[in-house]
Amino acid sequence: AGGIYRYAFKDILAFDVGLMLVGATGDVGNEVDMSMWLASLPLDLEILLVNNDQISLIGFIGFGFSRNYIGIDSNLPGYEGTVDITTTMKGPQGGLQISFKLQDFTISPFVMITRQSGNVDMDYDIEGQGSGSISVTAPTITSRYFGFDIVYVPLGLSLSSLMQQVSESGDNAGYKTYVINIGYCTQL
């Protein structure tokens, strides 16, 4: 679940805040129960750089915050217990989005760069192994996002795609993620 709130101060200046929540639970066989959730909160200031009947171009800069949780309850012989891992990341972000305005459609490619760092905290209590807490600093990572939105304006229906590319950092080998989303736009 998620959404974005946008407020325009002037014709060329706006503020937006988003919230995305994702959660899942499940069993891994009969021995392990897992749960996870992710919360992401971006805050941005938008500046309208170009706006006419054919195109608009916005630049944005802001701050991103995310918190992830993974919980594991194990009944595996020799490993009965719990492990809880929480990751908190934060840092600056910025990007550009251009919109091509067609008759009933708007096509909007975008690019965004984030630079985040944070902490990873783990609590564990495993029968026969002991209990404790571990906290480590997560290395700074740079992520690049490329994507586009296609909006069917009469219905406010959108199709979005996103590619995330995380650069190597320390022991982190980097990775790519692909996301496709269908959404419905409404104004309050």
Greatest Cα pair distance in the chain: 69
Q: Band of the pLDDT at 60, cuts 50, 70, 90?
A: very high
68-77, 158-167, 178-187: which has the highest mean pLDDT?
A: 68-77
Residue 126 has pLDDT above 60, yes or no: yes
Give the type of residue at 177: T
Checking phi first, is residue 53 left (phi over 0); if not, alpha (psi -120 to 50) or beta?
alpha
Give the type of residue at 20: M
The proportion of the chain whose per-residue pLDDT surpasses 90, expressed as a percent, equals 52
Q: Can you read off the two tokens belonging to residue 110?
A: 């975008």
Domain map (residue ranges) of the chain: 2-184
Give the type of residue at 121: D
Contacts of 146 (CB under 8 A, 6+ apart): 109, 110, 111, 162, 163, 165
Look at 1-15, 23-37, 107-121, 151-165 and tell me which has the smallest mean pLDDT: 151-165
How many whole angstroms separate alpha carbon 20 and alpha carbon 133? 28
Q: Tokens 């959108």 map to which residue? A: 158
Residue 58 has pLDDT above 60, yes or no: yes
E strands, the chain, where? 2-8, 13-28, 32-51, 55-74, 81-101, 105-126, 130-152, 157-166, 175-184
Number of residues that this document lists for the chain: 188
How many whole angstroms separate alpha carbon 97 and alpha carbon 137? 32
Q: 2-184: what fold?
A: Lipocalin (2.40.128)
Contacts of 27 (CB under 8 A, 6+ apart): 33, 34
Sign of CA dihedral 158, 61, 138, 118: negative
Sign of CA dihedral 112, 177, 26, 33: negative
